[in-house]
């Protein structure tokens, strides 16, 4: 005969209940802010994605029609192509540039602190300032680069006005702005045990061998972190292309976030914009999961 087991939850003592009450009370400002400014907007956007809503009239429920319209819209596929181009190139190239800058600035060179400050500076400058400076530098008429080319009687380069050059130009600026990731890599490099390099040197390993077999594996967890953040940021890329190109020329830099912004605030298609936001959320989750799944093959942890 089976013996029944009790599943009663143990009651909290008076002191534990009082402690729980005060904990909830002190956390209540964050909890209220989370419900009002995060949870409620997320749930509202999902509801609006199932409606036709223009901010001027009450929302009209239309089911999945917004999603169907998106997947039958040629503009949507153009935006997807531009965004995938950007994410696939900007994430690895941005992380690689940050890592290489960190490796270079981790060596013993003259004025190393000054160089570190110079390399980090672009990441703390407001993006509108960065965009204004680069718009001036790259201007085809009076920009510093094209003025120099013109002085040597060389052809000018339409960096931001030619569809073939616009995305690569934004990619180069993005790689230049990797100061934040560079600082994280610098901290990681300084945490690599020196004895590993000393042992490898005694065994006759060269600079490239030490870099490939020690530096990269020891930094791989941070590389994974920066890659995940770069992928998420790449899908949400908005400020720099919007300030420099407004999605042009000829929609060559019409990325997903710009397309979402246009639908929401230019065309007042809030239902469609909400559907775009949820599709973006699902895509980011899928890419993040795939990246973490692949990490078992190339990320090394010291406890392994």
pLDDT band at 205 (very low <50, low <70, confident <90, very high): confident
Adjacent-strand bridge partners of 51: 61
In this structure, is residue 230 part of a structural domain?
A: yes
3-state secondary structure of 5: coil
pTM above 0.95, yes or no: no
CB 227 within 8 A of CB 291: yes
Task: State yes or no: pLDDT of 5 exceeds 60.
Answer: no
CATH code: domain of residue 165: 1.10.3720.10
C-alpha dihedral (196, 201, 207, 208), degrees to nearest 10: -70
Residue 267 counted as domain residue: yes
In sequence order, which ranges of the chain are alpha helices (DSSP H)?
A: 14-34, 40-48, 65-71, 74-105, 112-124, 127-138, 144-151, 163-176, 179-189, 194-202, 207-210, 216-235, 239-244, 256-261, 270-298
Residue-level pLDDT at 115: 87
With respect to residue 9, please indicate whether it lies within any of the assigned structural domains. Answer: no
Task: Please say if the pLDDT value at position 80 is more than 70.
Answer: yes
pLDDT at 102: 94
Query: For residue 289, is pLDDT > 90?
Result: yes
- For the cut 50, the answer to whether the pLDDT of residue 1 exceeds it is no
**Which of 130, 79, 37 minimizes the C-alpha distance to 261?**
79
CA atoms within 13 A of residue 176's CA, in its CB half-sphere: 15
27, 59, 127, 128, 234 from 135: Cα distances, Å:
45, 40, 12, 10, 21
Host domain of residue 243: 74-298
- pLDDT over 60 at 144, yes or no: yes
Q: What number of residues does the chain have?
A: 304
Report, as an integer, the average pLDDT of 111-123. 88
Residue 36 lies in a domain: no
Burial (CB count <10 Å: 0-12, 13-18, 19+), residue 107:
exposed
What pLDDT score does 7 carry? Answer: 61
Confidence of residue 4 (pLDDT cuts 50, 70, 90): low
Q: Provide the pLDDT for residue 148.
A: 93
Question: Which of 8-12, 29-33, 57-61, 181-185 comes out lowest in average pLDDT?
Answer: 8-12
Task: Decide if 38 is inside a domain.
Answer: no
> Is there a domain that residue 105 lies in?
yes
Mean pLDDT, rounded, of the chain: 91
pLDDT band with cut points at 50, 70 and 90 for residue 112: confident
Please tell me the total count of domains within the chain: 1
Q: Residues near 24 by Cβ (< 8 Å), separated by ≥ 6?
A: 31
Residue 1 domain-assigned?
A: no
CB atoms within 10 A of CB 272: 26
Tokens linked to 207: 């600079």
> Is residue 10 over pLDDT 80?
no
Q: Write out pLDDT tens, residues 207-262.
A: 899 889 999 999 999 999 999 999 999 999 999 999 999 998 999 999 999 999 99
Domain presence at residue 233: yes
Give the helix/strand (H/E) hosting 52. strand 51-52
């Amino acid at each position: 005969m089976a013996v029944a087991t009790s599943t009663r939850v143990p009651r909290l003592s008076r002191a534990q209940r009082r402690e729980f009450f005060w904990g909830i009370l002190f956390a209540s400002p964050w909890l209220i802010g989370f419900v009002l400014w995060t949870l409620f907007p997320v749930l509202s956007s999902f509801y609006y994605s199932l409606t036709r809503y223009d901010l001027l009239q009450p929302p009209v429920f239309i089911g999945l029609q917004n999603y169907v319209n998106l997947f039958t819209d040629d503009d949507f596929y153009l935006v997807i192509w531009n965004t995938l181009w950007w994410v696939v190139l900007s994430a690895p190239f941005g992380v690689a540039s940050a890592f290489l800058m960190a490796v270079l600035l981790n060596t013993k060179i003259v004025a190393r602190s000054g160089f570190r400050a110079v390399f980090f500076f672009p990441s703390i400058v407001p993006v509108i300032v960065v965009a204004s400076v680069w718009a001036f530098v790259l201007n085809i008429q009076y920009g510093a680069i094209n003025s120099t080319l013109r002085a040597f009687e060389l052809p000018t380069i339409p960096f931001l006005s030619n569809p073939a050059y616009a995305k690569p130009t934004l990619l180069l600026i993005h790689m230049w702005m990797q100061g934040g990731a560079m600082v994280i890599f610098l901290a990681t490099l300084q945490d690599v045990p020196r004895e590993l390099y000393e042992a490898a040197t005694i065994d006759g390993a060269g600079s490239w061998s030490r870099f490939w077999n020690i530096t990269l594996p020891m930094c791989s967890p941070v590389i994974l972190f920066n890659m995940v953040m770069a992928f998420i940021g790449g899908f949400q890329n908005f400020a720099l292309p919007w300030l420099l190109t407004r999605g042009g020329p000829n929609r060559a830099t019409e990325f997903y976030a710009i397309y979402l912004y246009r639908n929401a605030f230019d065309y007042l298609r809030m239902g469609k914009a909400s559907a775009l936001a949820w599709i973006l959320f699902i895509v980011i989750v899928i890419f993040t999961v795939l990246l973490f799944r692949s990490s078992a093959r190339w990320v090394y942890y010291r406890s392994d």
